[in-house]
Amino acid sequence: MASRDGVRKSVLRHVMRTFFDDSPAELVAALVARPGRKIRPVEKKRLRELLEALERQEKREKRS
């Protein structure tokens, strides 16, 4: 039996490739830019943290 995390990642990859031209940014934009969608402060904070972590990772990879 597949793990929930594994299935979640697989489905997300499929949805991103199929509907969002394999673009994480387009997928996120579709999730947060819906009319009437409110993003809670805790969700905004989490998104900022994820982007900052990605930037730190990219900087480390450039130095390597």
pTM for this prediction: 0.70
Question: pLDDT tens digits, residue range 4-62?
Answer: 999 999 999 999 999 999 999 999 999 888 888 888 999 999 999 999 999 999 999 99
Measured in whole angstroms, the distance separating CA 38 from the mean position of its chain's CA atoms is: 17
pLDDT value of residue 23: 96
More confident: 2 or 5: 5
Measured in whole angstroms, the distance separating CA 33 from the mean position of its chain's CA atoms is: 14
The C-alpha angle 52, 31, 14, rounded to 5 degrees, equals: 90
Rounded Cα distance between 37 and 10, Å, is: 26
Residue type at 46 in one-letter notation: R
